[in-house]
């Protein structure tokens, strides 16, 4: 960051943005990566690139972050909410066909907690109906599905570098452009709707307004911070893997005895070790555990408020009972403290506190 400060370019598209993009392209086997100011902005870029028109439909999991739906609603699309699988908490690929209509343009998949969605089935269905797949990789950088990196399956994929994610620059993100037919426009949308990239390459003597776009590129100062994180990715992921496995071992017996579910990781998925969560038998047990931990100074949180039941979700046709697995999981899930520098002794304290919690019969 000091180098970036002294280098004279604080704005976007400097040396460190280029470094971060090249590093991500190599590590994720991605043909083109564009840094963005957030994952939400990368999702908004997807909506622009798909040229969504009012009335077009986009399928999203209801068990997801707000902007997974909001970015597409912003372009006038109707959001169609999909339910999740009860094991990985990822979009249920077996329930997707019934949501597809002639207006369906895109399908957004979230690799929850860094474990892959069932990409084989999802891609086959999307190809059959000519629907674009967009991967939300906010939780899943460097995870794999059947040995292939996540982010390499969809036409587009979105990363987050928000401070809550495995790799951070405070606020940040990236768009992976796999579909070669979208690559040129992605550069224009990224550059405020202009052909500034051609100007920077010396191909034109001034840049002009060509398309819809936004100010999506982050300051190079932030990219410098991010490069440091990405260069340490093996250390960061290895630490997170150890924390995840320690929780899983430490909580196994207690969870079995209390009827609590631990995360499912299919053998063909190498996770990104983004989060560790428990699914409690009911809402009262979940809320009780959060309060029990809070009383001991331990912050544990739930995830996500179902999108189809939100005020906006209801305007898109969401109604109670439409996504029953999402509704149950949202009321029973608790995430335990999980961050790269979580010490073994702090983690032991969390494990001790959780295993001292007895669920009321």
Ligand X SMILES: Cc1ncc(COP(=O)(O)O)c(C=O)c1O
| The token pair that represents 14 in the structure block | 């400097």
Is residue 114 at the binding interface for ligand X, with CB under 6 A as the rule?
no
CB of 264 to ligand X, least distance (A): 18
Of 32, 162, 210, 242, the one binding ligand X (CB under 6 A) is 162
Nearer to ligand X, 138 or 243 (CB): 138
Of 4, 30, 48, 64, the one binding ligand X (CB under 6 A) is 64
Of 17, 20, 61, 65, the one binding ligand X (CB under 6 A) is 65
The side-by-side arrangement of strands in the sheet containing 144-145 is: 148-149, 144-145, 269-270
Q: In the range 4-43, which residues lie near ligand X by CB under 6 A?
A: 38-40
Of 12, 21, 62, 67, the one binding ligand X (CB under 6 A) is 67
CB of 110 to ligand X, least distance (A): 5
Nearer to ligand X, 194 or 237 (CB): 237
Nearer to ligand X, 66 or 125 (CB): 66
Instruction: Name the segment binding ligand X (CB under 6 A); options: 24-32, 64-72, 308-316, 335-343.
Output: 64-72
CB of 163 to ligand X, least distance (A): 9
SS3 annotation, the chain: CHHHHHCCCCCCCCHHHHHHHHHHHHHHCCCCEEEECCHHHHHHHHHHHCCCCCCCEEEEECCCCHHHHHHHHCCCCEEEEECECCCCCCECHHHCHHHCCCCEEEEEEECHHHCCCCHHHHHHHHHHHCCEEEEECCCCCCCEECCEECCCCCCEEEEECCCCCCCCCCCCEEEEECCHHHHHHHHHHHECCECHHHHHCCCCCCCCECCCCCECCCCHHHHHHHHHHHHCHHHHHHHHHHHHHHHHHHHHHHHHHHCCECCCCCCCEECCCCCCEEECCCHHHHHHHHHHHHCCCCCCECCCCCHHHCHHHHHCCCCCCCCHHHHHHHHHEEECCCCCCCCHHHHHHHHHHHHCCCCCC
Nearer to ligand X, 158 or 353 (CB): 158
Nearer to ligand X, 210 or 335 (CB): 335
If binding means CB under 6 A, how many residues of this protein chain bind ligand X?
A: 15
Nearer to ligand X, 176 or 285 (CB): 176
Is residue 45 at the binding interface for ligand X, with CB under 6 A as the rule?
no
Nearer to ligand X, 138 or 224 (CB): 138
Separation of first and last alpha carbons in the chain: 54
Q: Do 62 and 82 contact (CB within 8 A), yes or no?
A: yes
Of 20, 96, 110, 300, the one binding ligand X (CB under 6 A) is 110
Of 141, 173, 306, 313, the one binding ligand X (CB under 6 A) is 173
Q: In the range 121-160, which residues lie near ligand X by CB under 6 A?
A: 136, 138-139, 160
Nearer to ligand X, 278 or 307 (CB): 307
Q: How far apart are CA 254 and CA 268, in angstroms?
A: 27
| Binding interface with ligand X (CB under 6 A) | 38-40, 64-65, 67-68, 110, 136, 138-139, 160, 162, 164, 173
């Amino acid at each position: 960051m000091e180098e970036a400060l002294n280098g004279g370019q604080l704005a976007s598209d400097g040396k460190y943005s280029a470094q971060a993009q090249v590093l991500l392209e190599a590590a994720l086997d991605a043909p083109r990566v564009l840094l963005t100011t957030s994952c939400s902005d990368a999702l908004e870029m997807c909506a622009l690139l798909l040229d969504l028109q009012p009335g077009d439909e986009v399928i999203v999991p209801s068990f997801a972050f707000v902007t997974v739906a909001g970015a597409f609603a912003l372009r006038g699309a109707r959001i169609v909410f999909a339910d999740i699988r009860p094991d990985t908490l990822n979009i249920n690929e077996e329930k997707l066909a019934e949501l597809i209509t002639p207006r369906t343009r895109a399908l957004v998949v979230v690799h929850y907690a860094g474990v892959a969605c069932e990409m084989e089935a999802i891609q086959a269905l999307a190809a059959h109906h000519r629907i674009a797949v967009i991967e939300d990789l906010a939780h899943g950088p460097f995870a794999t599905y059947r040995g292939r990196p996540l982010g390499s399956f969809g036409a587009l994929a979105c990363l987050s570098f928000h401070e809550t994610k495995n790799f951070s620059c405070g606020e940040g993100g990236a768009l992976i452009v796999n579909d070669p037919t979208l690559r040129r426009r992605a550069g224009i949308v990224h550059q405020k709707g202009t052909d500034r990239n051609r100007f920077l390459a010396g191909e034109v003597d001034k840049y002009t307004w060509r398309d819809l776009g936004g100010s999506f590129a982050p300051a190079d100062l932030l990219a410098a911070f991010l490069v440091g994180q990405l260069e340490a990715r093996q250390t960061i992921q290895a630490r997170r893997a150890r924390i995840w496995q320690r929780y899983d071992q430490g909580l196994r017996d207690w969870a079995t005895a209390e009827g609590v579910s631990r995360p499912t990781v299919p053998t063909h998925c190498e996770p990104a070790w983004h989060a560790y969560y428990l699914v409690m038998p009911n809402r009262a047990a979940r809320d009780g555990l959060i309060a029990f931990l809070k009383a001991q100074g331990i912050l544990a949180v739930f995830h996500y408020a179902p999108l189809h039941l939100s005020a906006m979700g209801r305007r898109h046709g969401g109604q109670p009972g439409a996504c029953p697995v999402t509704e149950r999981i949202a009321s029973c899930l608790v995430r335990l403290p999980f961050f790269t520098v979580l010490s073994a002794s702090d983690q032991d304290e969390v494990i001790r506190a959780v295993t001292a919690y007895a669920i009321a019969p």
